[in-house]
Amino acid sequence: MSAELQYEIEQTLFAEADLLDERRFEDWLDCFTGDATYWMPIRSTRGRDDADREFTKPGEGALFDETRRMLEMRVYKLETGTSWSEDPPSRTRHFVSNVRIRERHSDAEVTASCNFFIYRSRLDTEQDLWVGRRLDRLRKEDGTWKIARREIYLDQTVLTAKNLSTFF
Amino acid sequence: MTRSLVDTERGLISRRIFHDEAIYAQEKSHIFGRCWLFLAHEDQIPNAGDYITCKMGETPVIVARDQAGGIRALINSCRHRGNQVTRNDAGTAATFTCPYHGWCYDLQGKRVDPGTLVGVPNNESFYAGQLDFSQWGLVPVAQVATYHGLVFGTLDPQAPPLEEYLGDFRWFLDAVLGRGNLSVVPGTVRWQIRTNWKFAADNAVGDNAHGAVAHRSAILTMAKLRDQRAQFARGQEPGFTLLTEYGHGVNCKTGFAPPKDDAPADGFRLRIDPAFERWRNDPEFTAKLSPLQLKIQRFNGNVFPNLFLIDRLLVVRNPIGPHLTEIRAIALFDQNGTPETQLAEKRLAFQKFGPAGLYEQEDGENWDQATSGASIDPLQDEDLNYAMGLGSGTFVNDGQSPSRIDSFVNEYGQMWFYRFWDDAMKAGTWDELRRNHARPEGTL
């Protein structure tokens, strides 16, 4: 695994996180491929003997199971002027760390894992924290790394946030 | 407190009921300690020893399938020190062993009743064999029963049977829970909102006025997805409000739009909508229903106190104190659908409603804000206005359905919910409540 590739992937993920915190959602959509998928399974507390059922599987219930088009729709929703859960907008900060390239499918396609820590400050004193792990499959298109699939694994089972109107 | 909390004559509800600690303490005994509460769908626990855990109000409960195929509900609290005997959300087990001192309880009922204490470490030497196992089993939920696969329980042995409790509301449940061959989508979604549980419940039981405002962005988004212009109803829409004894209610829209099968190439979301309508082509099912049941298109309803029904979702809003509510949502899908529509229904079950739901995101924001507003000190005697349509909601009993009011957008459901809430809070026992509660007759 080259240091250069590691650097490129990290910088791609860091820049993408900044776009969210800067509320540049249209630009954020450009970080995804046209066929991108975005998936957050549902987690539950299970015994160690039952660990393979901790997360729902692809094709089962999910908190997000989105195509690129649905991501565009969610951005459109934010911009309608009546998306009250984000209008006035939340203040978010995305921290992305522990980036590791897990698999190199080809010179132009890799899967990277990272940890994330997202802070949301809302209205006066509302605060939410989302911590978890992501698996991002990235594909190089016209010299630029784009996200082709994002899997988001939250650490909470019962979400203590009143909604998930934030992108991960 | 001399002012009434629920003024049915004028459609006024006191802000106090949404934050007052003493009122909440009474709700725990008079509402959540007494009513039939939704626990699970039986398909979540298909085999002997399968269990899920959930809450009845704040009471932790285990719901399990026994060897004989029956469903048991036990309070999840060891009789020795009170610990939860399982801390899993779901699983399969023959027994539960408390992690503190090892008291062990049967779950499947092979040789003894489920919940029976079957083992205590070193029983002979520590207790000299004097511990009477038959007296120290997990405490069962007083009554458990199912309807259309929905498992309900009540902590009150005096509660009337579930069939009586659901009463005429079964007319609606028959119309929507028999649609196709429904089973449970894997995955239980849970999240917390800083709201009093009743703001969520009164939204469920009949708030059709908030959609065009609160969910405007979602309506615009769904229309854009379909490359259509968003349609916002002006004034009333065709439909009715069904209100039945013991506080249950539902708004049903009756305009029927035929399902579209012409989903655009990337319109994955759109394939789920025709899936909801497949049952309409099933004569085996449609033959059982009355013309009005068949006309029901969209609905939002509430089984008192806290089971919200919309689309194919079963959503419980459980209080954790007066200011915090934990929501638990499961979804159903039609096993008679094509493999593609079944997959779409499962994957997109929580895309409209759920914490990330295009619609429900705004509900969380609004109920949080309403709960803050309810506790504003100088406004404690300024009641909230639930008077929409008040005085003109006449119950129709024409044989087409049980007690309904022919109106879709109104606040009859909310007032109906609070009337029974008030009846239940005032009644000392179930017998008293059975005698003294609002009946669906006359005019609201």
Contacts of A68 in chain B (CB under 8 A): 266
Size of interface A-B (CB pairs under 8 A): 142
Residue of A nearest to B227 (CA): A73
Contact by Cβ (8 Å): A102, A1: no
Residues A6 and A129 sit within 8 Å (Cβ to Cβ) = no
* Chain A CB contacts of B190 below 8 Å: 157-159
d(CA A115, CA B41): 35
B270 DSSP assignment = G
Is the separation of the CB atoms in B27 and B19 below 8 Å?
Answer: no
For residue B185, the chain A residues in CB contact (below 8 A) are 60-61
What is the rounded average pLDDT of the residues A106-128?
97
**A61–B92: do the CB atoms touch at under 8 Å?**
no
- Comparing CA positions, the residue from B103, B100, B108 lying closest to residue B131 is B103
CA distance A151 to A41: 8
pLDDT reported for residue B390? 95
Domains defined along chain B, listed by start: 37-144 (2.102.10.10), 166-435 (3.90.380.10)
- Distance from the Cα of B443 to chain A's closest Cα (Å) equals 36
CA quadruple B429, B434, B435, B437: dihedral sign: positive
* B205-261 confidence digits (pLDDT tens): 989 999 999 999 999 999 898 888 888 877 788 999 999 999 999 999 997 555 455
What end-to-end distance do the CA atoms of chain B give, in Å?
26
Any domain includes A127: yes
Cα–Cα distance measured from residue B390 to residue A30, given in angstroms and rounded to the nearest whole number: 52
In the prediction, which pLDDT does A1 show?
Answer: 65
Pair A55, A132: CB distance under 8 Å: no
As a whole number of angstroms, the distance between CA B37 and CA B154 comes to 6
**B192 lies within 8 A of chain A by CB:** yes
Residue A24: helix, strand or coil by DSSP? coil
Q: Among partner residues B185, B217, B355, which is closest to A60 by beta-carbon distance?
A: B185
At residue B264, does pLDDT exceed 60?
Answer: no
Tell which B residues from 345 to 404 touch A, by Cβ distance under 8 Å: 346-351, 354-356, 358, 360-362, 364-368
Dist. CA A74–CA A80, nearest whole Å: 10
Cβ atoms of B350 and A148 closer than 8 Å: no
Q: Inspect the interface and report whether the beta carbons of B365 and A163 lie closer than 8 Å.
A: yes
Q: Tell me whether residue A77 is in a domain.
A: yes
- A43: nearest CA partner in chain B: B187
Helix B216-225 vs helix A68-78: crossing angle, to nearest 10: 140
Contact A81, A66 (CB under 8 A): no
| Mean model confidence pLDDT for chain B | 93
How high is the pLDDT of residue B341?
Answer: 87
Q: What is the pLDDT of residue B338?
A: 87
* CATH number for A141: 3.10.450.50
Q: Which two tokens stand for residue B77?
A: 């609290």
| pLDDT band (50, 70, 90) for residue A126 | very high
Inter-CA distances, A49 with B88, B98, B124, B277, B359, Å = 11, 17, 31, 40, 37
For chain A, list residues whose CB is within 8 angstroms of any CB belonging to chain B: 40-42, 44-47, 49-50, 53, 56-57, 59-65, 67-70, 73-74, 76-78, 80-86, 157-165
Q: Is residue A99 part of a domain?
A: yes
Separation of alpha carbons A113 and A137, rounded Å:
9
Helices (H) then strands (E): counts for chain B: 14, 22
How far apart, in whole angstroms, are the C-alpha atoms of residue B161 and residue B163? 5
Distance CA B48, CA A94 (A): 45
Q: For chain A, report the end-to-end CA distance as a whole number of angstroms.
A: 26
Which residue, B206, B261, B226, is CA-closest to B407?
B206
Q: Which of A60, A68, A165 sits opposite B361 (nearest CB)?
A: A165
Q: At B135, is the pLDDT very low, low, confident or very high (cuts 50, 70, 90)?
A: very high
- Give yes or no for B282 touching A (CB within 8 A): no
pLDDT tens for each residue of B51-104: 999 999 999 999 999 999 999 999 999 999 999 999 999 999 999 999 999 999
Residue A166 resides in a domain = no
A158 → closest Cβ in B185, B190, B217: B190
Q: How far is A4 from chain B (nearest CA, A)?
A: 36
The alpha carbon of residue A158 is apart from the nearest alpha carbon of chain B, in Å, by 5
pLDDT given for residue B1 in this prediction: 47
Look at residue A21 in the predicted model and tell me its pLDDT: 98
- Cβ–Cβ gap A157/B354 under 8 Å: no
- Percent of chain A as helix, strand, coil, to the nearest 5: 25, 45, 30
Mean pLDDT of B299-322: 97
Task: Specify the pLDDT at position B286.
Answer: 86
CA–CA dist A91, A12 (Å, integer): 22
Does pLDDT of B184 surpass 80? yes
How much is the average pLDDT of B111-139?
96
Give the model's pLDDT for residue B95: 97
**Is the CB of residue B187 less than 8 Å away from at least one CB of chain A?**
yes
- By Cβ distance, the residue of A44, A86, A160 closest to B192 is A160
Half-sphere exposure of A141 (CA within 13 A, CB side): 13
**Is residue A164 in a domain?**
no
Q: Give residue B233's pLDDT.
A: 75
Ranges of H-type helices in B84-215: 123-126, 162-166, 170-177, 197-206, 211-214
CA distance B188 to chain A (A): 7
ipTM over 0.90: yes
Highest mean pLDDT among A74-83, B261-270, B273-282: A74-83
Contact of B223 with chain A, judged by CB distance below 8 Å, is answered with: no
Q: Are B30 and B23 in contact (CB under 8 A)?
A: no
B129 CB-near residues (< 8 Å, 6+ apart): B123
Contact B186/A44, CB-based, under 8 Å? no
The alpha carbon of residue A41 is apart from the nearest alpha carbon of chain B, in Å, by 8
**Which residue range(s) make up the domain with A45?**
3-154
Residue of B nearest to A166 (CA): B356
CA dihedral B312, B318, B322, B325 (to 10 degrees): -60
Per-residue pLDDT tens digits for A65-111: 999 999 999 999 999 999 999 999 999 999 999 999 999 999 999 99
Please state the rounded mean pLDDT for residues B24-36. 98
Bridge partners, A62 (sequence order):
A41
Kindly state the average pLDDT of the residues B27-49: 98
* A158/B224 touch (CB, cutoff 8 Å), yes or no: no
Domains in chain A, number = 1
Q: Which amino acid is at B206?
A: G
Q: pLDDT of B380-410, one tens digit each?
A: 999 999 999 999 999 999 999 999 999 999 9
Does residue A168 form part of some domain? no
In a domain, A71, yes or no: yes
Query: Of A65, A67, A151, which to mutate for an interface test with B (greatest number of B Cβ within 10 Å)?
Result: A65
Cβ count within 10 A of residue B205: 31
- Run of H or E residues at B244: strand B239-244
Note whether A69 contacts B362, CB cutoff 8 Å: no
The answer to whether residue A160 sits within a structural domain is no
pLDDT in tens, A10-34: 999 999 999 999 999 999 999 999 9
